[in-house]
Structure formats: structure tokens, C-alpha cells
Amino acid sequence: MAGVAVSTTINGDTIEYLCQPDETLLDVLRDRLGLTGAKEGCGTGDCGACSVILDDRLVCSCLVLGAEAEGRRIETVEGMAQGDKLHPLQQKFLEHAALQCGICTPGFLIAAKDLLAKNPDPTEEEIRFGLAGNLCRCTGYDKIVRAVQDAAIVMKGA
Amino acid sequence: MNFDPRFSGRKFASVGTRPIRPDGVDKVTGRARYGADFNMAGQLVGRVLRSPHAHAKIRKIDTSKAEALAGVKAVITAKDLPDLTDGDAAMYDILDNCMARTKALYDGHAVAAVAAIDAHTARQALKLIVVDYEVLPHVTDVDEAMQHHAPLINDTVFTEGLEEKPVKPSNVTKRSQFGHGDVHQGFGHADFIVERSFKTEQTHQGYIEPHACVANVSSDGTADLWVCTQGHFVYRQHCAQLLGMEASKLRVTSSEIGGGFGGKTHVWAEPVALALSRKAGRPVKLVMTRDEVFRASGPTSATSIDVKIGARKDGTITAAEATLRYSAGPYAGSWAEIGAMTAFACYRLDNVKTVGFEVLVNRPKTAAYRAPSAPMAAFAVESAVDELAKELGMDPVEFRIRNAAQEGTRSSYGPVYGPIGIGPTLEAVKAHAHMKAPLKVNQGRGMACGFWFNFGGQTCVDLNIGMDGSVSLAVGTVDVGGSRASLSLVAAEELGIDYAQLKAVVADTSSLGYNDMTDGSRGTFSSSMATISAARNAIKILRERAAQMWDIAVDDVVWEQGHAVAKGEKHGNLGKLSLKEIAAKSGTTGGPIAGHSELVADGAGVSFATHICDVEVDPETGATRVIRYTVVQDAGKAVHPTYVEGQYQGGAAQGIGWALNEEYIYGKDGRLQNAGFLDYRIPVCSDLPMIDTQILEIPNPNHPYGVRGVGETSIVPPLAAIANAVSNAAGVRMTHIPMSPPRILAAIEAEREG
């Protein structure tokens, strides 16, 4: 198979890569670019661990082809902190212990960032439905919801 | 130095606080490295070919075409993993499960594997392997497998534990019995007797991270294995034995682990990855797909349980009896035995008898799942207890309080209890506002109790003090949910220093002595005990060094709040020496300062919880929503209370999924029909309410700080608590888990039709 040349923007940087036509964006991020923050929990779009933001839209990167990223903008968990300053969601996830094993955390952070960008003042129910595409098996979601609520307050004040 | 593990009441400075975990920043920035996040130069991609049949003889495997495919570097079958188990039946089962030898025993059983230059080539290669199967009759249901006419899964299995040795092989591997007194006589004294039968379906731990490893076998006979596991020392032992290596030649590094819940206590694909690497002469990365995780790692047992409980009019239980049948997959385990031990552990009973039957079926090998075997037994018993309370006209909480086990009670499985938390959790529930909250139409409330043994085991810790006074703590229990934070708190407490002065890591198998797995809720219990011991050993050296620096007798030096202090009037003007000051001089006072500990952490305190649950059942659709949930559990001492709450909430959420949704669904062909998160639906955020927690602290007398394990008990009560709530809401007793909408509708309709 011939590789496809792709030029895209990831976390603000212009990135170029060659990928196979059947390769997912998740595989490109993880295996070609070394961005292993996005995780593969299922490969079928059911768990959300591979969530990234593609041109302001929350997607499962396992359901996007690497070739489709041409000319697009991608945000991953690696781009959330500014230098050594954590994003408020990252800080609140730590303070609330909203992670136990942490494998789902990058996906939740990205999904929550997308949620708060579109709805800066969500109700608990809106948070619960907004994050329903991400599976967590450790926490029972209680502390995740509280962390997002707390981050929303901080971000509104910013 | 002799270490005294007994509880001593003390005031805590660090323990009980809630700092940010030391591995936290890496986990929120995507930098933490899990099983699949590690790569080596020259690494190949490994993939496994799996049986499409539930039960089949493997006549022949032709790998020649796959081997001839460009880019394929190794193809292996059972021949490449010769039997080196030397009569060890348990190890042979592990070997056979990793790669089927003569028969495929379940849909998903590994039969061959390849290593190739990329995933695409590896997938192509699997398609070129030709397996000649002779399909055999299969059985996947636990009750059917016990029938005399059921297909026999292993003709060398003769039921153990029967009075007379059986003459014919059977799918029942073992009968086990527990109890005391005379149940026949006890039932004779009962005014009311409830007798019910229950079923629970098979569920999976559902960790979000699939099994993943990178194996690198060198031609000099040494090897490295990077793997997500709950127990890298155990993985080393098993892999070394199966591969014919010396354990010390195999270094296993545990990656960050993306959930395990018991499912990562067994080797699955790791010996296969090592065998591929050995044959190919290159590193091999092997990551399971989600489909493989469901089909070929270890779910929990499906069960069928009969319970009979009798009580006098005054509410005293006179006898309790249960027969418990647990599926084990195709290999013997001890799942029914554990279920039979836990079933009535919450109660003070004069006459109790439980009998467990372990049953082979053509399903994946059963693995531990958080308090393995206990939730199903608790579901059956606690449902029957609720029914009996109803018959007696007693409040279900009062009825349980009246019969709850206490300190000094002989447990249903044998030992006599020390100080325990079942009574206090029940009293806390009785007083909880949740119990008094009003319910609306179609809503019901349920409560239930749960028990788990907890475990201690072999444990090893190194505590090294740097010349700058900072402290590194190397532990050998894999951190599955925040234990590096709790162990750092314990070390800070003991040394009298700040939490930020410490850094805890999980050491690899070549850097620390043997540790049992993180299972049995032992991580914080056992490693904190070893940490305390290691810290006390370090303090002894710190005192010696201070004495040397002051040139006084070591007996005159005590350790107080992170400082060496000279005691006695004659040393009045010596002041204090901080850990940092002593460490700075260590190069000239005798070299590096460290504390080590190797111990068997005995005396894990048993754990009890009581849960309350409110549900709303839609009588039109049978759909159930959990609208309020409260967990009350004894932690002994909560070292990091936020992570203790997290364990309570997580177990409850898994129990809710088990109770309402999750189940393995097999077709008539014996194949798993829902091997993915779309069709095997674990609870999502919008399915659940907040989960309230109340931590009780009844100190464990066998731990210096009173710590008990907290990880597992929280999954024991939910099945029963929710079943009791649903039964109260729907007006009909639910006896089959999960209580999916069709099952609830069918029960409601059956009740209507009388």
C-alpha cells in the first residue's frame, strides 16, 4: 500500500506524516507521532478513551482515518496544559481524585473541555449526558462530575 | 529489628489527609505510560488466532502459508510452548489457557500466534493459518453442565470432596462445605422459613485498558517484559516457569495499569509474547483487542444458588443453608468454595451449612473480579433475608442488626471474629437520612450487607534517604488506584516529614524482593505495614548517625517529628538534628541511609459494608434507574480518605452495572454474542447518581494504624441492595441478575397473571 502524505495541525503545531489509507487517526497519533495520551480502549467508538477535538468537534480518534486529518486542527490531551501550568480541568481532576487508574482520564479531559467550551455553565445532568460517551470503570463518575463542576466555576471566573 | 504490627492508637499528622497523588500530573497530561504506551527499537506486532468454536478437538494446524508471508517473523502454536509444568496441574491449566494444546475449550481460546513487522501483515498472516477442527458438543450453562448427560469438558476431572470417590468423570471439579451446628434441627425451631433459588449471569471486570505487553527475549537467555498487571512478581514466576527460564533472568516491569479488578492477576498473552519474541529474536508487542478481552480474558462466574433461612417470631435466625453452583470456565478454580465461605459471613448463626459446586463450562477461564464470588452469594442470601424480614413483619435493618455477627462470633466459614464493622455499618444505615427520605410512585428502597475477607501476604519495601534529605519509597505492590499516595502518607507519618519530601515508585522485579499481587484488597494494607517497618528501620539508623554526630550514646537519641532529639539533661544544649541534616552528613557517618522491610503481612482485618439504594422502575418498559445510593463501609483507618471514597463509589458502580445490565450472552452455537462495549453495556455517567459514602473506622488490631483493606467489599452488597429495591418498587421478588428490562417486565407480568 502506498502511504498518504498528510499535513495537519496538532495542538497548534504543523505536523506532517505519511500514513496508510486504512490507518486510524488514533494509530497515527500513538504509533507514528508518539502522542500516546489518547488511549485505545475498544477501537469501536464505544469507550471514548481516544477522544480528541477535530476542528472544534469531539470525536473518537479510533473512528477517524489518519488521512482525514489533512488540513484540519486536532487537539489532544498533550496540548491542554500551557507549559507547566495545568488546565483548570486537569487541576480539578487531581484535586478531586477524579481518576483512579487514569486510563480514561485523557478522554474525559478532552470531552469535558469540549463540553465546557460549548456550555460553560452546565447542570449536573448536562455534564452527565455530555460525558456519557466516555467510559470509566473505577470511579463511578461521582468525582469526575464534581471536578468538572468545580472547573467550570474556575473557568467562568477566569 | 523485630517489628510489632499491633495497632497502637496515635494521633496522625499525615495519615487521613488528602494530598494530590504523586503520579497525578503524568496521568492528566497524557504522559503516564500504560501497557500499550511502551515501544522498543525493532519491535514486532504480535497477534493471536483464536478458536471460533466453543469446544473442538484440534486435529492439525498448518502454519506454512503464514510463515511464507513477507514480513512475518515468527508463527507459534502449542508446540512452541512445550509442557514444562512437571505435574503441576494448576500451571498446566495456565499453559493450556494461553495456547490450546489438544482441544479448544471456548470461543476465543488461543490456538496460534504470529509476530510480524506491522499489524496489517500480522492480521493477514492469521488468515493464512489453517486449523483443522473436529467440533464437539459444548455446554455453557452452569446448571446444564452439572447434568449427567452434559458434554464432558475434561475427562480427567473426577469430583473432589465427595464422600465416595466417583467412578465417572464429571464437569463438577469440587464439592466444598462449610458451617457448624445442625441446620435440620435449626429449621425445626423456626416459625418462618424462606426458601428461594437465584441465578446470576457472567460479567466482566470491564477495565478500560486491554491487556498489553512488550516482550524482549535475548539469545543469552535473559528477557524483559513490560506489562500491565496487578502482580509483576507473579507474572514473572508464571512466565519463567512456562518458558523454562530462571525467574531472576526475566525482569518484569509493571506499567501504569488501566484497571484490573482481579482480571490482571492471571497471565493470558504474556507467555505467548515471550515465545514469539524468543522465536523471532526481536521484541514483540502484543495488545489484545476489546473483542479478545471479552472472549479470552477472565470474566467472573455465572451462578445458580439455592438459599433457605429460618427464624423464630422474635426475629432470631435459627438456621441458614445454601447450595451454590459457580461456573469456572474450562479449568478448575476455587470460586464456588469462596462463595460458600462468604455467603453467611455477616451473621451470627448457631446452625449454618453451605455447599459449593465448582462447574466446568465452555466459557473463558473464570478470573477474580473484586471480592470474587462474594457478590453473587450476597445477592442470594441478602434477598432471602429481606424476604424473611417481610414474612416476620420486621424492618429489614432491625432484622439484620438482631442477627449481625459481632466480636467473638464464630463465622460461618470457621474463624472467630475480632473487632468487626457489620454492626456499626448497620447502625449507621439505620440512622442515615437516606433511610427516611420519601419515595415516589414506582420507586423502591433496598439495603443489603456485604463481607470480604481481605488479604495480606508477602510484601517488600525499600525506603532510601537521599543526601539531600528527600526520600524515595520503592514498593512492589502495583498501584491500581492511588496507593502511591497512601504509602507516601504512611512514610511521611512514620518519619515525621512532609509528604512532598517523598516520592513513591513501583519497583520492577529485579530491583526489589518478591511481592504478592495487588489482590485481596492488600495493596495499602500490606505495603503500608512494610513501609512502617522500613521507616522504623531507617529511623534506627538515623538515630545512630545522630548519636555519632553528637558523640553520645544512641539510647539517648529519640526520633520526634522528623528530628533526632537528645534526651536527658546532660544533653540539654544539643538541640535537634533534622532528617535533612543527618542525611547531608551520611557520606562521612557510615554511608547511605535506608530502611528495608520484608514481611508476610498477616492479620488483614475482615471488612463489612452496608449499602442503601433507591430505584425507580418503569412498569411499562421494565427499565430501572438508580436515583440515590449510599455506601457505608468500615475502613479500619482511611489513610487517604478521598481514595477510600473512590473505592466505595467504584465498587458500587460496578455492582449497579452487574445488577441491571451486564451479562455475557451466548448463542446456541456456544459463541459469545456481545463481545464489545456497545452490547456489553457498563454504566455510563448519565446512568448513575452521585454515590454518597460514609467511612467508618473500626481499627484492625493487626495493623499499626488500624488499616483494613477497602478495595473489594464495595461490590458485594449492590446486587442484593438493588434487587431488594427493585423488588420493593415493582412489587415482585427478582431472582435473576441482571435485572434487565425484559426480565423485570416478565416478572411483573407473571405476578399480574398470578
Distance CA B287, CA B37 (A): 10
A45 and A92 share one domain: no
Identify the three-state secondary structure at position A106: helix
- Cell 423485570 sits at which residue? B744
A108 and A148 share one domain: yes
Which three cell numbers mark B16? 487521613
A111 and A74 share one domain: no
Distances B66 to B133, B277, B390 between C-alpha atoms, Å: 18, 17, 65
What percent of chain B is modeled with pLDDT above 70? 100
CA distance B686 to chain A (A): 5
Which three cell numbers mark B730? 415493582
Per-residue confidence band for B190, with pLDDT thresholds at 50, 70 and 90: very high
In B56-118, which ranges are continuous DSSP H helix?
Answer: 64-68, 89-98
Question: Is there a contact between A99 and B28 if contact means CB atoms under 8 Å apart?
Answer: yes
Nearest-10 Cα torsion for B363, B53, B266, B249: 160
pLDDT in tens, B58-99: 999 999 999 999 999 999 999 999 999 999 999 999 999 999
What is the reported pLDDT for A1?
61
B527 touches B459 (CB < 8 A): yes
pTM beyond 0.90: the answer is yes
A15 and A69 share one domain: yes
Residue-range definition of the domain harbouring residue A25: 4-79
What is the reported pLDDT for A157?
86
List the B56-62 sheet strands across, edge first: B103-104, B56-62, B130-135
**Maximum distance among all Cα pairs of chain A, rounded to whole angstroms:** 52
CA B340 to chain centre: 18
pLDDT in tens, B700-751: 999 999 999 999 999 999 999 999 999 999 999 999 999 999 999 999 999 9
- Contacting residues for B312 by C-beta, under 8 A, at least 6 apart: B189, B190, B191, B318
A92 and A43 share one domain: no
Identify the three-state secondary structure at position B744: helix
Distance CA B77, CA B112 (A): 4
What is the reported pLDDT for B2?
80
What is the full DSSP assignment across B633-655? Answer: EE-SS-SSHHHHHHHHHHHHHHH
A27 and A66 share one domain: yes
Question: Is there a contact between A102 and B258 if contact means CB atoms under 8 Å apart?
Answer: yes
B502 touches B538 (CB < 8 A): no
CA distance B582 to chain A (A): 33
Count the Cβ atoms, other than its own, within 10 Å of residue B435. Answer: 14
A132 and A102 share one domain: yes
The CATH number linked to A46 is 3.10.20.30
| pLDDT at residue B1 is higher than 60 | no
What is the reported pLDDT for B572?
80
Question: Is there a contact between B261 and A137 if contact means CB atoms under 8 Å apart?
Answer: yes
The CATH number linked to A137 is 1.10.150.120
A41 and A64 share one domain: yes
The mean predicted confidence, pLDDT, of chain B is 97
All residues of chain A having their beta carbon less than 8 Å from the beta carbon of residue B646 are 97, 100, 138-139, 143
Of A79, A96, A126, the residue that ends a domain is: A79
- Contacting residues for B573 by C-beta, under 8 A, at least 6 apart: none
B24 touches A94 (CB < 8 A): yes
Distance CA B163, CA B177 (A): 12
Best to test chain A binding among B26, B28, B214, B287 (most A CBs inside 10 Å): B28
- Contacting residues for B469 by C-beta, under 8 A, at least 6 apart: B501, B578, B579, B580, B581, B583, B584
pLDDT in tens, B108-151: 999 999 999 999 999 999 999 999 999 999 999 999 999 999 99
Of A45, A60, A79, the residue that ends a domain is: A79
All residues of chain A having their beta carbon less than 8 Å from the beta carbon of residue B684 are 131-135, 141
What is the count of structural domains for chain A? 2
pLDDT in tens, B480-528: 999 999 999 999 999 999 999 999 999 999 999 999 999 999 999 999 9
A130 and A101 share one domain: yes
A72 and A98 share one domain: no
CA distance B603 to chain A (A): 26
Buried b (16+ CB within 10 A) or exposed e, B713-744: bbbbbbbbbbbbbbbbbbebbbbbbbbbbebb
| pLDDT at residue B314 is higher than 60 | yes
Of A51, A79, A107, the residue that ends a domain is: A79
A16 and A71 share one domain: yes
Averaged over B689-699, what is the pLDDT? 98
pLDDT per residue rounded down to tens, chain A (158 residues): 689 999 999 999 999 999 999 999 999 999 999 999 999 999 999 999 999 999 999 999 999 999 999 999 999 999 999 999 999 999 999 999 999 999 999 999 999 999 999 999 999 999 999 999 999 999 999 999 999 999 999 999 87
What is the reported pLDDT for B179?
98
Q: Quick one: which H or E segment has residue B276?
A: helix B270-280
A65 and A105 share one domain: no
Distance CA B327, CA B332 (A): 9
All domains of chain B in start order, with CATH: 24-32+456-601 (3.30.365.10), 35-136+210-257+264-296 (3.90.1170.50), 303-454+605-753 (3.30.365.10)
